[in-house]
Amino acid sequence: MAKLIPYTHFQYCPNCGGRKIKSFKKNGLKCLDCAYIYFHNCASAVAGIIETKEGVILLKRRSAPKRGYFDLPGGFVGYGETLEVALVREMKEELHIDIVDLRYFGSFPNTYIYRKVTYFTTDAFFICKPFHLEGMRLSEEISEVAIFKPEKIDLAKIAFRSIKEAVRKYQSEWVRRK
């Protein structure tokens, strides 16, 4: 069972600033000075497999992690948001588009390393359609938008494990539909 400290790189208690912290259970840290317990729980994220007449929309990442690799539009679920509300918000933030016909597709575990902290996520995927693509603009996180026929997506160029798994599942279902 993995210890949490290597994943967070915490050296001090987030409550009292003490240095006497140790791993606690599978996903926690405990301070021996003040008895504070911190749990580094799984985060929720969403992504959209946006179907167009030409194929599926993929985004090329402008920044780390995985700069230059393709990704699906999406992101972390905010406090108080449902998965669906988070997906709609992320589509607006990343592409400035509205989506319709959201259908839950599946979920896959992932890890996301940002500034030396490893976040464990459960990524929920939805198949959806754009209301329209007119006025689509890219956020600063994206360097390029590409549309691929599902069978033409190269999994080696996909950024994250969960995205690869979702695209692989989508490709296999796409083949069965044909």
The mean per-residue pLDDT over the stretch 116-139 comes to 90
* Confidence check: pLDDT of 178 > 70: no
Residue 7 DSSP SS3? helix
Question: What pLDDT is stored for residue 113 in this prediction?
Answer: 84
> Once rounded to an integer, what is the mean pLDDT over residues 24-41?
92
Instruction: Examine the pLDDT at 19 and tell me if it is beyond 50.
Output: yes
Could you tell me which residue, 45 or 133, shows the higher pLDDT? 45
- Residue 112: pLDDT band (50, 70, 90) is confident
What is the torsion angle, in degrees rounded to the nearest 10, for the CA atoms of residue 3, residue 8, residue 11 and residue 16? -100
Cβ contact 59:73 at 8 Å? yes
Task: Taking the CA atoms of 81, 85, 89 and 90 in sequence, report the sign of the dihedral they define.
Answer: positive
The mean pLDDT value for 46-61 works out to 96
Output the pTM of the full model.
0.87
Which residue has tokens 């500034």? 115
Please give the average per-residue pLDDT across 152-168, as a whole number.
96
Give residue 1's pLDDT band: very low, low, confident or very high (50, 70, 90): very low
Region 76-92 average pLDDT: 97
Structure token pair of residue 112: 């996301």
Q: Rg for the chain (alpha carbons), in Å?
A: 19
In this predicted structure, the answer to whether residue 81 has a pLDDT above a threshold of 80 is: yes
> Per CATH, is 48-109+117-177 categorized as 3.90.79.10?
yes
Domain map (residue ranges) of the chain = 5-39, 48-109+117-177
